Amino acid sequence: MDFNNTELAFRSKSAADLRRSYLLFSALNHQWLVKLGELLVRLSFFLRLPIKGIIKKTVYKQFVGGETIADCTPTVRHLLQYRIESILDYSVEGKIRETDFDRTTELTLQTMAAHSKYPHLHLAAFKCTGLARLELLEKMSRGDLLNSSESDEWDRAVARMQRLAKYAKKEGCGLMIDAEETWIQPAIDQAVNQLMREFNTESCVIFTTVQLYRTGRIEVLQKELNDAKAGGYLLGVKIVRGAYMEKERERALKEGYPSPIQPDKQATDRDFDRAIHLLTEGLGTPQTPTGNALVIGTHNELSTQAGVDALEAHGWTPGHAPVWFSQLYGMSDHISYIVASHGHRVAKYLPFGPVQEVMPYLFRRAEENTSVAGQTGRELRLIQQERQRRKKAH
Ligand SMILES: Cc1cc2nc3c(=O)[nH]c(=O)nc-3n(C[C@H](O)[C@H](O)[C@H](O)COP(=O)(O)OP(=O)(O)OC[C@H]3O[C@@H](n4cnc5c(N)ncnc54)[C@H](O)[C@@H]3O)c2cc1C
């Protein structure tokens, strides 16, 4: 796959789109500017300064579909023209009230309801911290006993997940549960595992997420495959490298336990490749599919190519395997467009939510784009290459 084919990669982008992305990624390339921007935005919201308009036209436009599901419609349609699915994602984070958890549940249900308008969309997603309090997930994960009010609180969180899973099953939609920090992940894994056993009996409704920047995940995946087979249910997995590396390492150092993160990037990359091989093998073949399904969530070109090659090696023709290559909206669009143009299933997380509420998501994207070595540089190089190509062509 030629990821340098910018004509194909950016064929949906106007000159103005490319210019806007170029300016934005240029700014994101400077860590001091990102830090300053974050500070100014926080201060402006605190002082109630009218900055919503500026944000909406810049960073929000690059990475977010809109404030509501309806706002996302033009983007969903636009991406579908290029055979790219959207995963509508209510990206409001850090909430602690039960009413907020109920609201996130309602909005996630609505993302799946929107699928009836677009039969080509197959996936939805949520974060457990959107449905339950972080401290509760942490306490559960430590194995501490919950008091009776906490027990009720957990029951309500499980009921929310059950509602979402039931609806996903009814709508024939795959529902991915994001992976988060290691100190809350045991509670998430336990809940997701229960959902898989209950709902993945005929098809993959529930997708767990495994972060390959953690050590020992290949053994975990092998166990997941064995447990699913023995337990008579199907395994849906989204694999990612992992988004909380710095935070994880800092906490481990501070609290004096061994870091749960791989020693270096190479080790993460090696396990990501191994996971691709293990899980594509776990799909069976086109003649004898197991029913398992996979989402490869990455902006890495080599991993994407490894996924494509592994499917081919198992005899799958493009688009026929229950596998999605997935990226975040506004990031690595060249991968999404090129992989989709080869006939593979591609789905982009398309966040939505009120501007101020989505800011934590946007700050993370901004930080990720400054900290992930090489990625912003790659975006800039490709955009520049395409702008020059167009200039020459005229
Ligand atoms: C569709 C999608 C869904 C996602 N869902 C989740 C999710 O549910 N949970 C979650 O945590 N993240 C999620 N992410 C984010 C993801 O985990 C990565 O942070 C991000 O995609 C960058 O990794 P990469 O494979 O794209 O690219 P790369 O640029 O190849 O890899 C960067 C990643 O490698 C790892 N890494 C970098 N340096 C080192 C090092 N020194 N040692 C060890 N590892 C290192 C880190 O994980 C870093 O983010 C998602 C990403 C996508 C595209």
Mean pLDDT of 2-22: 91
CB–CB of 210/217 below 8 Å? yes
What atom of ligand 1 comes closest to residue 374's alpha carbon?
Answer: 29
Ligand 1: does its nearest atom lie under 6 Å from the Cβ of 182? Answer: no
Ligand 1: does its nearest atom lie under 6 Å from the Cβ of 292? Answer: no
The pLDDT assigned to 371 comes to 58
Mean pLDDT of 129-142: 96
Ligand 1: does its nearest atom lie under 6 Å from the Cβ of 200? Answer: no
Distance 53 CA to ligand 1 centre (A): 30
Who has greater pLDDT, 359 or 178?
178
Mean pLDDT of 182-209: 98
Ligand 1: does its nearest atom lie under 6 Å from the Cβ of 209? Answer: yes
Structure tokens at 3: 């990821």
Give the model confidence (pLDDT) of 73-105 as tens digits: 999 999 999 999 999 999 887 788 999 999 999
What does the alpha-carbon distance between residue 186 and residue 153 come to, in Å, rounded to a whole number?
Answer: 17
Structure tokens at 341: 């143009």
Looking at the chain, the whole-number percentage of residues with pLDDT higher than 70 is: 98
Distance 273 CA to ligand 1 centre (A): 13
What does the alpha-carbon distance between residue 256 and residue 245 come to, in Å, rounded to a whole number?
Answer: 16
Q: Is 239 exposed, middle or buried (0-12, 13-18, 19+ CB in 10 A)?
A: buried
- Work out the pLDDT band at 37, boundaries 50, 70, 90: confident
Distance 241 CA to ligand 1 centre (A): 4
Read off the amino acid at residue 167: Y
Distance 272 CA to ligand 1 centre (A): 10
CB–CB of 380/25 below 8 Å? yes
Buried b (16+ CB within 10 A) or exposed e, 152-185: ebbeebbebbeebbebbbebebbbbbbbbbbbbb
The pLDDT assigned to 379 comes to 86
Ligand 1: does its nearest atom lie under 6 Å from the Cβ of 304? Answer: no
Task: Examine the pLDDT at 372 and tell me if it is beyond 70.
Answer: no
The pLDDT assigned to 374 comes to 60
- Work out the pLDDT band at 158, boundaries 50, 70, 90: very high
Distance 292 CA to ligand 1 centre (A): 23
Ligand 1: does its nearest atom lie under 6 Å from the Cβ of 264? Answer: yes
In order of their start, the domains of the chain are 66-358 (3.20.20.220)
Length of the chain counted residue by residue: 394
Torsion of CA 228, 282, 319, 120, to 10 degrees: 10
Ligand 1: does its nearest atom lie under 6 Å from the Cβ of 60? Answer: no
Mean pLDDT of 386-393: 91
Ligand 1: does its nearest atom lie under 6 Å from the Cβ of 299? Answer: yes
- Work out the pLDDT band at 373, boundaries 50, 70, 90: low
What does the alpha-carbon distance between residue 247 and residue 224 come to, in Å, rounded to a whole number?
Answer: 26
Across the chain, mean pLDDT equals 93
Structure tokens at 311: 């499917």
Q: Whose CA is nearest to atom 32 of ligand 1?
A: 372
Give the model confidence (pLDDT) of 168-193 as tens digits: 999 999 999 999 999 999 999 999 99
Distance 267 CA to ligand 1 centre (A): 13
How far is C-alpha 170 from the chain's CA centre?
23
- Work out the pLDDT band at 231, boundaries 50, 70, 90: very high
Give the model confidence (pLDDT) of 66-79 as tens digits: 999 999 999 999 99
Who has greater pLDDT, 49 or 207?
207
CA separation (Å) from 297 to 206, 280, 313, 328? Answer: 16, 14, 20, 9
Quick one: which of 240, 295, 228, 337 has its CA closest to 87? 295
CB–CB of 128/102 below 8 Å? no
Distance 234 CA to ligand 1 centre (A): 25
What atom of ligand 1 comes closest to residue 209's alpha carbon?
Answer: 8
Ligand 1: does its nearest atom lie under 6 Å from the Cβ of 298? Answer: yes
Kindly give, in sequence order, each residue whose CB lies less than 8 Å from that of residue 257, ignoring residues fewer than 6 positions away. none
